[in-house]
Structure 1
Amino acid sequence: MDNNSDEFRNDILEGLRKPHQKSTPSKYLYDTVGSQLFEYITEQPEYYPTRTELKILEKHSGELIKSITKEIVLIELGSGSSKKTRYLFDEILKKQEKLYYFPIDISINFLDSIVTNLESLNEKLVVKGIPEDYINGIKQCNSILFENNISFDTFSRLIVFFGSSIGNFEPEDARDFLKQIRLNMHDKDFLLIGFDLVKEIQLIEPAYNDKAGYTSKFNLNLLNRINKELNSNFDLEKFDHYAFYNTEENRIEMHVRSRTDQNIVIPGNKEIFRIIAGETIHTENSYKYDKLKIEKLAARSGFKVDKIFTDENNWFNLILLRPS
């Protein structure tokens, strides 16, 4: 068993052993199937974050790029389809002859398809996909630049983290994650992050319960993945997708909820995991932020807010951070 498979197995077992609330790390939702399903989610009418973030980029990309005076190397964490990033491509290539672009994504197959597509898009775009976790991916980008004799004094790295994905981290984990990014940045680099803002529950909850059912398929796909990779016995017909807004924590919680009493086993492990009717496995959080929380998170992570870009409804922020 390779290290990634071993880590997956151990994390799933640890989550199922929890006595009060079974859970799984949200990163495991994004295998190849999960990544494609998430792309479908972003296209649904209920899912406001993607279209709102796109509008912000469409309106403000020029201003954003002009505020970075040096030549830019672009690094994207969790690249997805790179649809949003193309607004930045256009603006960056107005000011420089060539753009080095490093999309980082743990889904190798999904990443390969995106890289192939982008390489044919623009001959001035030099694309190097990095199939890694985010921090190791940034380190690998730095190594590639160094090996190609690209002087770090001549450019600014712009690291982008779109889609309000920072909200999937627990607050302390978000701080630690940003600290790790900061440790791999120079003083002239920038970090651009999307934050979904606190707003009415009537807007937030439907975004995670789309009528077409893609979020449900996305959530339940994790059980399918556990079955395929660990030979477990989750019956997807006996689980429902369950997502709601926790007003005390200012977060969406995603769960899979059991319809019946059932026993789950993972071969090679002697334990039997009893799940009773109505019990849930907590699969993901999506925290919503306000201005004060964003500023505190930045300060505690070694950053300062350089610029704030928002939409006309103030539903979403793109925050440009620089090392403090």
Structure 2
Amino acid sequence: MALSLPDQTTTSQPAFPSESNESEPNNEQRKTNNEELAAHVLAGLTRQPRALSSMYFYDAVGSELFQQIMALPEYYPTRTEFGLLTRHRAAMAAALTSADGQPLHLLELGAGDGLKTKILLRELLAAGTDFTYAPVDISPTAVEGLAESLRTELPTLRVQPLVAEYTAALAGLRGQPGRKAVLFLGSNIGNFPPEARQQFLAALAAQLGPDDRLLFGFDLRKDPRQIRAAYDDAQGVTAAFNLNLLTRLNRELQADFDLAAWEHFADYDPLTGAMRSFLVSRRAQQVRIGALGRSFDFAAWEAIHTENSYKFTLPQIEQLAAAAGLRVLTAFQDEQQWFADVMLAPVP
């Protein structure tokens, strides 16, 4: 669950649910963050169709709500991938490890709390693999928290935490000795619009040599009703999560969104594999955003697009990989074939 502006050129990375436990910013950071948010909102509400990025879902309340979402019976991605990693951990670790015993530099984009990754890390340590783990996150708190938990749980692990955007982290890969492997778990690749997704994969592949590896998570296409329910649960937690974006704008940008005049709507298109979420205006209304010094008119039932989450087929994944100069080595799947962690390598 996260993206940049839907169906527009994205930045180098979307936001990630698991890395949302931010520390309280100081006044200077808060001013900068609010300026960035204000610029984003101005761009998103003056375009048509209107759109806001779900990267701004994750304030303290939004982070807590997403933790609740991951525990919902309808929300299958997290627990499905956790089970998949547990089931295939030995084969994944073997596929990541170089046959000639070269040291492995394991870089993870959007590492978050590392809950799923620790399954692989424990397996690599048990196998005696010579490797260093480099978790990357834009949140200093997330990186520091993960590094601390790893020091406690896996004291023999070599960790090089990195607070950086993905472009900066990837730029340092070429200088690493031995085999490089990039992890991008979860279904985060699905948050990129198609063009940006292809650009991201190609840019990543350009930093790797023929012996390097990538392990990406892909949420697979399945019963459309099941997918839709995962983003529109019966308890209304996902609705509260989406609407909390407006609460944040009220607080940080002095807006006057009336939450009772908005509703969450989510729908899945089985033709494109796009799961999309919206905030829909229940009536004609005008919203004032004090930080922007202007008001915005919304028609009855006008929508603000807040999220994409694309789902994939295995042939589609192979096509994406090939277009980026990559090849599929193995697609590790759960028993129900709902999710795949796909091992990729650059085309020689």
TM-score range, shorter chain: 0.7 to 0.9
Question: Who is 1:94 aligned against?
Answer: 126
Question: Who is 2:112 aligned against?
Answer: 80
Question: Take 1:35 and 1:185, find their aligned partners in 2: how far apart are those partners?
Answer: 33
1:83 positional shift: 1.2
- Pair 1:239–1:128, CA change in 2 (3 A): farther
- Pair 1:114–1:258, CA change in 2 (3 A): farther
Question: Take 2:169 and 2:243, find their aligned partners in 1: how far apart are those partners?
Answer: 28
- Pair 1:110–1:232, CA change in 2 (3 A): farther
SS in 2 for 1:294: helix
- Do residues 114 (structure 1) and 114 (structure 2) align? no
- Pair 1:300–1:109, CA change in 2 (3 A): same
Question: Who is 1:177 aligned against?
Answer: 200
Question: Who is 2:20 aligned against?
Answer: none
- Pair 1:62–1:109, CA change in 2 (3 A): same
- Pair 1:312–1:305, CA change in 2 (3 A): same
Question: Who is 1:149 aligned against?
Answer: none
Letter in 1 for 2:149: N
1:87 positional shift: 1.0
Aligned length: 314
CA RMSD in angstroms comes to 2.3
Kept in 2, the 8 Å contact 1:37–1:214? The answer is yes
Question: Take 1:303 and 1:284, find their aligned partners in 2: how far apart are those partners?
Answer: 27
Question: Take 1:318 and 1:81, find their aligned partners in 2: how far apart are those partners?
Answer: 18
Question: Who is 2:238 aligned against?
Answer: 215
Percent of pairs with identical residues: 37
Kept in 2, the 8 Å contact 1:305–1:321? The answer is yes
Question: Who is 2:329 aligned against?
Answer: 306
Question: Who is 1:30 aligned against?
Answer: 58
Moved more, 261-270 or 169-178: 261-270
- Do residues 65 (structure 1) and 65 (structure 2) align? no
- Do residues 188 (structure 1) and 222 (structure 2) align? no
Question: Who is 2:346 aligned against?
Answer: 323
SS in 1 for 2:307: strand
2:247 is matched with which residue: 224, 239, 246? Answer: 224
- Pair 1:33–1:301, CA change in 2 (3 A): farther
1:15 positional shift: 1.0
SS in 1 for 2:153: coil
Task: Report the TM-score when normalising by structure 1.
Answer: 0.88
- Pair 1:40–1:104, CA change in 2 (3 A): farther
1:46 is matched with which residue: 60, 74, 78? Answer: 74
- Do residues 138 (structure 1) and 167 (structure 2) align? no
SS in 2 for 1:322: strand
Letter in 2 for 1:197: L
Letter in 2 for 1:296: Q
Question: Take 1:310 and 1:161, find their aligned partners in 2: how far apart are those partners?
Answer: 16
1:12 positional shift: 1.6
1:287 positional shift: 0.7
Letter in 2 for 1:272: S
Question: Take 1:315 and 1:273, find their aligned partners in 2: how far apart are those partners?
Answer: 41
Task: State how 1:230-241 maps to structure 2 within 5 Å.
Answer: 230-241=253-264
Question: Take 1:188 and 1:3, find their aligned partners in 2: how far apart are those partners?
Answer: 41
Give a deviation string over 1:67-102, Cα, whole Å, max 9, x none.
222432222222232111011111111233664322
1:303 positional shift: 0.8
1:129 is matched with which residue: 149, 152, 161? Answer: 161
